[in-house]
């Protein structure tokens, strides 16, 4: 062991594994000033114990519930997931409704209001007039317009729309220095762009998941883009003082009025 000096010497290291996670134990030796300097730099979740039996040579044992190297890029877990998600949406958000002109939608809304306001004895006649107006206004889309009209009259104003969510979960120590890549959040990514960004990670998207993502059928509608919306990351503390960082990309027909594309300046 080296002679006593102003610098600390690490004389021991071990890892304790429990159900709550890992604990890293390091032992350092040095002068009182060196030991006190180390103690003053510890984090709130680190524990220490001083042994002065061999003073003026002191030993300090530091216990850390995770990786205590602040420059380390080590990660404990890296998981990709392509999950199914069910979203409850307004019937006016359906692609068939989006394909109708604003004039047709206006006729449908006013016709529903007219039928609902009619006296029971007059409802049939008002309904007949309303459907005639929709048929004339809708042109080739009359079937979809009439279906929307009937759904609304029967108080069905929403539907269940399945979604895909590409999710990355990283489990790291609380001192893991790199932050989550939150650039381009609330931007719309094409499938190629989302896979390109995802594959820059230390662990890229598995080939099976990539093939499934590429095979998802696209939808189209004027003013909307079939794309992946990148959401801000979330960080959650779990057992052992570790942190789970989650980033999600949600596939949907997103309105370009509200969101910028990935390629936009």
Q: How far apart are CA 180 and CA 170, in angstroms?
A: 9
126 compared with 217, residue with greater pLDDT:
217
List pLDDT tens digits, range 190-211: 999 999 998 887 788 999 999 9
One domain, residues 213 and 188 = yes
Question: What's the pLDDT score for residue 70?
Answer: 44
Burial (0-12, 13-18, 19+ Cβ within 10 Å), 207: exposed
One domain, residues 169 and 150 = no
- pLDDT at residue 55 is higher than 90: no
Tell me which of 135, 158, 181 is where a domain ends.
158
Please report whether residue 174 resides in a domain. yes
210-238 core/surface letters (b: 16 or more CB in 10 A; e: else): beebeeeeeeebeebbbbbbbbebeeeee
Please report whether residue 3 resides in a domain. no
Please state the rounded mean pLDDT for residues 206-217. Answer: 94
List pLDDT tens digits, range 85-119: 888 999 999 988 988 888 888 888 888 888 888 87
Please report whether residue 59 resides in a domain. yes
Tell me if 52 sits within 8 A of 35, measured CB to CB: no
152 compared with 238, residue with greater pLDDT:
152
- pLDDT at residue 252 is higher than 90: yes
- pLDDT at residue 134 is higher than 90: no
Question: What's the pLDDT score for residue 69?
Answer: 46
CA 22 vs. chain centroid, Å, equals 27
**Maximum average pLDDT range among 34-43, 127-136, 137-146:** 34-43
Please state the rounded mean pLDDT for residues 118-135. Answer: 74
Please report whether residue 235 resides in a domain. yes
Q: How many residues appear in the chain? A: 265
Question: What's the pLDDT score for residue 3?
Answer: 40
Instruction: Please give the tally of structural domains in the chain.
Output: 3
The average confidence (pLDDT) of the chain is 83
Enumerate residues 6+ apart whose C-beta is below 8 A from 140.
none
Distances (CA, A) of 233 to 6, 161, 189: 43, 24, 16
One domain, residues 104 and 209 = no
Please report whether residue 24 resides in a domain. yes
Domain range for 42 is: 9-64
């Amino acid at each position: 062991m080296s002679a006593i000096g102003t610098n600390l010497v690490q004389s021991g290291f071990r890892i304790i594994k429990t159900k709550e996670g890992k604990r890293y134990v390091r032992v350092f030796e040095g002068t009182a000033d060196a030991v006190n300097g180390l103690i003053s730099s510890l984090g709130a979740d680190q524990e220490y114990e001083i042994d002065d039996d061999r003073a003026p040579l002191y030993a300090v044992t530091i216990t850390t519930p995770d990786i205590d190297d602040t420059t380390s890029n080590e990660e404990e877990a890296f998981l990709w997931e392509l999950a199914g998600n069910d979203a409850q949406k307004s019937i006016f958000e359906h692609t068939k409704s989006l394909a109708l002109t604003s004039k047709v939608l206006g006729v449908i809304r006013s016709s529903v209001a007219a039928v609902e306001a009619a006296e029971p004895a007059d409802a049939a006649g008002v309904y007949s007039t309303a459907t005639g107006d929709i048929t004339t206004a809708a042109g080739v889309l009359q079937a979809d317009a009439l279906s929307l009209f009937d759904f609304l009259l029967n108080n069905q104003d929403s539907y269940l729309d399945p979604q895909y969510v590409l999710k990355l979960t990283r489990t790291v120590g609380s001192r893991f220095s790199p932050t989550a890549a939150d650039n381009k959040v609330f931007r719309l990514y094409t499938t190629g762009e989302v896979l390109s960004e995802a594959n820059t990670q230390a662990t890229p998207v598995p080939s099976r998941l990539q093939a499934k993502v590429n095979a998802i059928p696209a939808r189209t509608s004027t003013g909307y883009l079939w794309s992946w919306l990148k959401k801000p990351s979330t960080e959650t503390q779990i057992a052992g003082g570790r942190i789970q960082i989650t980033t999600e990309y949600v596939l949907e027909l997103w309105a370009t009025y509200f969101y910028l594309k990935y390629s936009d300046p």
